[in-house]
Amino acid sequence: MASEEEVWHLVEARRDDGAPAMFRIRDLPPRLDQPRIFVVEVPYPVTGLSRLPDAASYRRLAAFEEQWVIPAALALGWTFVAAKTEDGSSFLYLYGADEPTVMIEKLSPFDGALGFFDEHDPTWDEYAALKELLEEANAMPPERSDQDDDERAPATEPPRAKPAAKATPKKAKPAAKATPKKTAKPKAKAKPATKAKPARTAKPKAKAKPATKAKPARRR
């Protein structure tokens, strides 16, 4: 179980093709005594246009994280730092001091389709890229809803009615039928385009630009 001091942040980003990429990033100081980064790729079926997990896949990913990854990390002294979900795969980022052989043995029985990546990263550069993404997201202004705009709009007094002009005694022409004007449709608010590099077979990169302000994620 995670300690009460753990703080996780949720960051939403978008790739060049507009597909969303979801990041959960843990806020913690780097541990230079853990010089190796280890990434687990967990595939999931793509069922929607967003290519993000459906409810059943989210539950399965959460179970893998809580019942497999976190206990293994605690048992081996590894640090779980982030997760990225996009385009049919979830990537879990950990740092450790040893070769990941034992970690792979502990996680492999969950699914034969799991992918594993590891690399020497003594200065936690990959985590620094994640923290940069988090800082960019925190610097963005919070999203404003239409309801907020309505509440902030100043109240205006209704226009005063002008006195009716006196009718002149002349023959009135039949009034033409007025055709109602078509109301313009409100333009959809465009979300800023963001960049997120897709995962590569060598090592998934965490570099991306946020689409929205970071939100606190539930503690694991």
Residue type present at position 104:
I
CA distance 107 to 130: 24
Nearest to residue 78, comparing CAs of 119, 27, 20, 36?
36
The structure tokens listed for 176 are: 């033409």
Q: Which residues pair with 89 in a beta bridge?
A: 43, 86
Burial environment of residue 205 by CB neighbours within 10 A (0 to 12, 13 to 18, 19 or more): middle
In the chain, where the domains are located: 8-141+191-212
Helix (H, G, I), strand (E, B) or coil at 196: strand
CA distance 85 to 27: 18
- pLDDT tens for the chain, 220 residues long, are 344 467 899 999 887 777 889 999 999 999 999 999 999 999 999 988 888 989 999 999 999 999 999 999 999 999 999 999 998 999 999 999 999 999 999 999 999 999 999 999 999 999 999 999 888 888 877 766 555 555 555 544 544 544 444 443 344 333 333 333 343 333 333 333 333 333 343 455 554 555 555 555 554 4
CA distance 36 to 122: 6
CA distance 106 to 161: 79
